[in-house]
Structure 1
Amino acid sequence: MIFLVAAFLLLGVLVGPPAHLPPAVTLSAAAVIAAWLLIFTVREHNRRHRQRS
């Protein structure tokens, strides 16, 4: 039950602020985060691939 309460609290914190921002700001922030995650994924994949070789 505590896990469910924590999950709803986290969801409210993450989803609440974008509801009050203009769509352009929300989409640009989402694009920056997505690009950062993509770069991180590629770097981690390359790092693990080099360690195996």
Structure 2
Amino acid sequence: MIFLVAAFLLLGVLVGPPAQLPPEVTVPAAAVISAWLLVFTARERIRRHRQRS
């Protein structure tokens, strides 16, 4: 239950400001964050694959 409360608080903090920003700022910021998440995911998968071997 605490996890859900924390998730909703974090969601409110993260989604609130983009609602006030113009799309010219929000879209590039979202692209940068998405690219970082993709890189992080790829690195974690590679790291886990190497640990299993």
- Seen in structure 2, the aligned counterparts of structure 1 residues 44 and 5 have a Cα distance that, compared at 3 Å, is closer
Q: Which runs of 5+ in 1 are unaligned?
A: none
If you compute each CA radius of gyration, which structure gives the higher value, 1 or 2?
A: 1
TM-score, length-normalised on structure 1?
0.77
TM-score, length-normalised on structure 2?
0.77
Identity score, percent? 81
Q: Which runs of 5+ in 2 are unaligned?
A: none
RMSD of Structure 2 on Structure 1 (CA) = 2.1
Number of residue-to-residue matches in the alignment = 52
Partner of 2:46: 46
